[in-house]
């Protein structure tokens, strides 16, 4: 497994991260998935306090007994900020909460469930419209000073939202986790379709990828395997765009003698910004298949062929 640095930190991690959202609540099955990732060389594990309402963090903690001495050899990341409908009372809607109390309480809950003294990285999960940057800064300061969180970042944030937060917090924001794959490539679209009006209105986060790249913020890609849509799990009634992209993936995989998962993940690794895909499959065979991506490199022509197919139309 190849490695990379996270942002401008000294953290050296595996090129791929393992997302724990879909871990089985069955400890034996969960451990099989985690151990497969470890055997493949993955050292970065991504959580969130809402995954299984905390059950995924709890089941993950079984790895400490299964692999003694592992904690200092891996990077644990969790996320907070999403609150479910009905929490804390029946009338409460689904919402985002970056208040001091919620951030601190969420981290303490994650630490308890993960059975660890610290998180290597904490991400704010989705932008809170009512965020008060000074309150977030106070929470970050408290968690950092207490040794409960080493580094901080965000998820699903635009460049402007990161700039606003960075203007108040003392800690460097080292990660932005974003949806990115060959079928969800809007972050790249602004670079090729700026003057095309119909496409301009589909672009979200204008300049976000470039902002993160310029400022040493590692871009993590969630949903990199598109739920298997391009690697053998084509949805029933899939539109022509998905069918064509899946065909391109199959042809490239056959030509290179690798898995289709490796082509889809390799498409992200080929980008010069140093994107870290967060693979979410818990199937051991598919974990191993995705990890083949670190040993291939798509040519410019191969990369653009999949980009064009995934975007559903020729470049302008």
* pLDDT tens per residue across span 141-188: 999 999 999 999 999 999 999 999 999 999 999 999 999 999 999 888
pLDDT surpasses 80 at 204: no
Peptide bond between residue 98 and the one before it cis (omega within 30 degrees of 0): no
* pLDDT tens per residue across span 229-252: 999 888 888 899 999 999 999 999
Instruction: Name residues whose C-beta falls within 8 Å of residue 315's C-beta, 6 or more positions apart in sequence.
Output: 192, 304, 308
Tokens of 57: 């963090």
Q: Is 7 exposed, middle or buried (0-12, 13-18, 19+ CB in 10 A)?
A: buried
Q: Give dist(CA 208, CA 43) in Å, integer.
A: 26
pLDDT surpasses 70 at 191: no
Superfamily per CATH, domain 3-179: NADP-dependent oxidoreductase domain (3.20.20.100)
* pLDDT tens per residue across span 67-113: 999 999 999 999 999 998 988 889 999 899 999 999 999 999 999 99
Catalytic status, residue 118? no
Q: Which of 51, 118, 151, 304 is catalytic?
A: 51
């Amino acid at each position: 497994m190849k490695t990379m640095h996270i942002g401008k930190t000294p953290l050296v991690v595996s090129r791929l991260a393992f997302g724990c959202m879909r871990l089985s609540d069955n400890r034996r099955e969960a451990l099989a998935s985690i151990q497969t990732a470890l055997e493949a060389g993955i050292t970065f594990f991504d959580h969130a306090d809402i995954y299984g309402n905390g059950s995924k963090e709890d089941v993950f903690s079984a790895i400490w007994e299964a692999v003694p001495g592992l904690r200092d050899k891996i990077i644990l990341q969790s996320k907070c900020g999403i609150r479910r409908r009905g929490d804390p009372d029946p009338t409460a809607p689904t919402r985002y909460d970056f208040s001091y109390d919620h951030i601190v309480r969420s981290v303490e809950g994650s630490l308890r469930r993960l059975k660890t003294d610290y998180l290597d990285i904490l991400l704010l999960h989705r932008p809170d419209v009512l965020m008060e940057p000074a309150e977030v800064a106070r929470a970050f300061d408290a968690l950092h000073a207490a040794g409960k969180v080493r580094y901080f970042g965000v998820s699903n944030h635009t460049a402007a939202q990161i700039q606003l937060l960075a203007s108040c917090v003392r800690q460097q924001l080292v990660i932005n986790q974003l949806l990115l794959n060959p079928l969800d490539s809007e972050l790249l679209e602004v670079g090729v379709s700026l003057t095309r009006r119909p496409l301009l209105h589909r672009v979200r986060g204008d300049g976000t990828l470039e902002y993160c790249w310029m400022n040493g913020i590692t871009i993590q890609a969630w949903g990199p395997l598109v739920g298997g849509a391009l690697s053998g799990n084509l949805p029933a009634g899939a539109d022509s765009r998905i069918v064509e992209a899946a065909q391109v993936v199959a042809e490239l995989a056959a030509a290179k003698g690798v898995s289709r998962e490796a082509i889809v993940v390799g498409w992200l690794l080929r980008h010069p910004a140093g994107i870290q895909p967060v693979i979410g499959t818990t199937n051991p065979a598919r974990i191993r298949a995705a990890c083949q991506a670190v040993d291939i490199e798509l040519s410019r022509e191969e990369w653009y062929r999949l980009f064009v197919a995934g975007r559903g139309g020729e470049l302008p």
